[in-house]
Structure 1
């Protein structure tokens, strides 16, 4: 009977490991990967001279221009964008970034962006793509609350624990009864 009990316990441990399986992350990666608010669409363009990074925020694009070789901010440049038929001159901000105000909001879709940069004696033309998408599509919710929290396997584990405990109690009582009968 003790072999039966040991087999049940081993089966329970094996079942728990199989249910948890690969990718069981205790929610740690989900917390790190899913910010509280959806990420704004990003624009990244680079050349041998410059790197231009932007985020779509409200009425326009918030831009950061860096020297590609040194990664130092370029704060005294003229930045002009062409996107979705709009030609926009970006205004320098006090923090060294730039703001390109859109005449009209961009609907969902992918947009080719062309940036003309003039900084001192250096000029460059950068191209890139901006993917504008709905906040719901960026963070699609899982189908059920159990799968979203990572506890979808819990009922199975609890059921197996109850069965293992019942078998253990049954086996121990039976062994105790046999010892009394033999004595």
Structure 2
């Protein structure tokens, strides 16, 4: 009885095509790329042995988070005063435990030295740092040049794999036919 034995790897090739998603099935890659490539608001980070102050420039001011440096616990009952670009700003405590420092004048593009005076019931501290304000165009990151499956960038790889698979199938079938001739 002549029996053709297929190689063990052949079923893997037949189901391997399932890994390629078609149009409309990006599984969030484009959304993730848009998130990574979107411009970030300018950030401010200042720390000392007592406090850590982190801020983000948002529209009319800075949104600030003040933490105890040792425990990383939020400090919600402090008096926070900022000096930036010639403006003295008293930050107001927000309901969520953060602070908001409203700017009298918007900041133009450039780098600004920032000084923060922190006063709590037990301690006081002076923090310094820099805020680098970018234009939106300068913050934009160009998307990666890698092509997605919907852009047909995978086609040469698929064609190469199909060619290799067909060559292996032909080789296996010829070898089996040759062995059957030798046995007969």
My pick for the range that moved more, 163-172 or 103-112, is: 163-172
Q: Deviations over 1:121-154 (max 9, x none)?
A: 5221100122223455445123646169898454
Could you tell me how far apart the structure 1 residues matched to 2:42 and 2:25 are?
29
Q: Please give the secondary structure, in 1, of the residue aligned with 2:153.
A: coil
1:140 to 1:150, Cα distance in 2 relative to 1, 3 A: farther
1:53 to 1:154, Cα distance in 2 relative to 1, 3 A: same
Q: Deviations over 1:88-122 (max 9, x none)?
A: 11112122211001122223332221111122252
What is the aligned residue count? 171
Q: Please give the secondary structure, in 2, of the residue aligned with 1:52.
A: strand
Could you tell me how far apart the structure 2 residues matched to 1:165 and 1:70 are?
63
1:95 to 1:27, Cα distance in 2 relative to 1, 3 A: closer
1:122 to 1:150, Cα distance in 2 relative to 1, 3 A: farther
Deviation for aligned residue 1:78: 1.6
Partner of 2:179: 178
My pick for the range that moved more, 80-89 or 30-39, is: 30-39
Q: CA RMSD in A?
A: 6.5
My pick for the range that moved more, 19-28 or 32-41, is: 19-28
1:163 to 1:95, Cα distance in 2 relative to 1, 3 A: closer
1:24 to 1:127, Cα distance in 2 relative to 1, 3 A: farther
Flag structure 1 segments of 5+ consecutive residues without an equivalent: 8-16
Which structure dedicates a bigger proportion of its chain to helix? 1
Could you tell me how far apart the structure 2 residues matched to 1:68 and 1:110 are?
25
Could you tell me how far apart the structure 2 residues matched to 1:6 and 1:89 are?
64
1:77 to 1:24, Cα distance in 2 relative to 1, 3 A: same
Deviation for aligned residue 1:19: 16
Partner of 1:11: none
1:167 to 1:6, Cα distance in 2 relative to 1, 3 A: farther
Deviation for aligned residue 1:39: 3.1
Partner of 1:116: 117
1:127 to 1:158, Cα distance in 2 relative to 1, 3 A: same
Structure-2-length-normalised TM-score: 0.63
My pick for the range that moved more, 164-173 or 89-98, is: 164-173
1:88-99 equivalence runs, <5 A:
88-99=89-100
